[in-house]
Structure 1
């Protein structure tokens, strides 16, 4: 990974200059003000992890990545190329997630909220509740001989739940160091069947390791679907499966990409359940705002509100393009079946 070659302050220095010189409407952005007009706004990208960059610029100068310009620094042509790669690897949401996983670990408000909305606190930052997890597990049929790769595992509680329920060996991969550290500490006594590592979504594990199940719970949005499915397919054993929970805001699904990759699949439409989930989430979040604020976790509450809807009307597919699906995917193009809803 490109970020392995640089210190954290150097990474922040490169991203800061990239944001000032060639800003973009950053994908996967939460709360960060894109197109900053000054250094302070650019460095808000890093939230509470913002650090002093004085010495970083000087080190980057020795690598010919930056050069002095008036009273500050600018990227060299080579520096621009590196900065663009670093920014892609560390979008604003990376720093948001670092704060998020640290915040929810000891949050009583989040624990109560999760039990109300998801049925259990598994550190969810998505829309997958216990009912949907059990549905998925019924369809993939894991046992003590199964191996699972959970891509975008967060704090590892869902991976732990899956292993506890099935006995399967589960490897969790996430690019947030705080999340992986939390997962490792919590599951030390279960290290015979649970492991966690920092990894990239496009290249999560080293070559030569294959799994019975590759699981993606709302993690496909962080890259191109075709790139991810091509990479993840290579991680499957001959009769392995993928389970992908996927939310589409515009109604588009990933069926064409699956067929391009010669992957057969069953698809379960969870859109109605998703709409009702967001309605419940809105009600509970409004009721619990004071609890989140008292913990200093207003930003967590704000995100929960972003993931909810205040509209109290029943789900109507004609009025909202939003769709949510569970794909159970096989390795060969044998059959394609559509299941209309959770059952």
Structure 2
């Protein structure tokens, strides 16, 4: 069987797989005004680490969406003790199963790059309320990459393209987002901070091929840690 990087994440049940992990998520959300009246969509929620934090911290309405059933089952297990409950949904970010103007915030943590980016960003805009905010953490192409290195990353992660910062901005503007702020982020790891430690929810009988994919991801992360860029985009409707 030809497994993908996303299959690997699902089998290992990786929570906080995005750069910066839960620590960065907490920092980003702390800058926003979020109360119990707000509604938040966590797209590509994975095992639900971020959704669980939001529900416990802010006591607001949280919807967790993913297109991987293994991830969703693990998220549901994580959410069992939470009150208020989190609304868990299966769906594609390229065709969100929601009416227009439903959410105050959308959180996309290293998700959009794995989709048809243009379609996804348009969907984000559609389901946000007036003055709603998209918070996205995404990979960004920097000039330091050779063609061979770029090909390696694109093929391994199964993404159609790696966008520059200006290309991301272009797509956000084209979709109708009016206020866009960009912050560059450099991955740092503090082994003494629990929020930067990878969270796992392991499946039974994990195939050795999936372990090989995980090891290659670790290798690529280390190899390109000074070259692969990440940005935090804050886009307001």
Query: For this structure pair, what is the TM-score category when the shorter chain's length is used for normalisation?
Result: 0.7 to 0.9
For the aligned residues, what is the CA RMSD?
2.7
Q: Deviations over 1:79-105 (max 9, x none)?
A: xxxxxxxxxxxxx4453344232xx5x
* Among candidates 223, 230, 233, match of residue 327 of structure 1: 233
Give the match for residue 218 of structure 1.
110
Give the match for residue 307 of structure 1.
221
Give the match for residue 268 of structure 1.
183
* Among candidates 46, 62, 66, match of residue 154 of structure 1: 46
State how far apart, in whole Å, the 1-side matches of 2:41 and 2:54 are. Answer: 11
Are the aligned partners of 2:41 and 2:63 in contact in 1 as well (CA < 8 Å)?
A: yes
User: Is the partner of 1:307 in helix, strand or coil?
Assistant: helix
Q: Deviations over 1:125-154 (max 9, x none)?
A: 221234321221122221111110011110
Q: Deviations over 1:156-180 (max 9, x none)?
A: 0111112212222211111111111
Are the aligned partners of 1:267 and 1:326 in contact in 2 as well (CA < 8 Å)?
A: yes
Give TM-score scaled by structure 1 length: 0.52
Structure with more contact order per residue of length (Cα contacts < 8 Å, sep ≥ 6): 2
User: Is the partner of 1:161 in helix, strand or coil?
Assistant: helix
Instruction: Provide closer, same or farther for how the CA distance between residues 204 and 128 of structure 1 changes in structure 2, counting only shifts above 3 A.
Output: farther
Instruction: Provide closer, same or farther for how the CA distance between residues 208 and 227 of structure 1 changes in structure 2, counting only shifts above 3 A.
Output: closer
Give TM-score scaled by structure 2 length: 0.73
Unaligned runs of at least 5 residues, structure 2: 144-163, 191-196, 198-207
Point out the structure with the larger helix share: 1
* Among candidates 99, 104, 112, match of residue 11 of structure 2: 99
State how far apart, in whole Å, the 2-side matches of 1:177 and 1:191 are. Answer: 23
Q: Deviations over 1:251-304 (max 9, x none)?
A: 51111112222311111111xx22x459xxxxxx9xxxxxxxxxx784434432
Spell out structure 1 runs of 4+ moving beyond 4 A.
Answer: none
Unaligned runs of at least 5 residues, structure 1: 1-43, 48-91, 105-122, 279-284, 286-295, 332-343
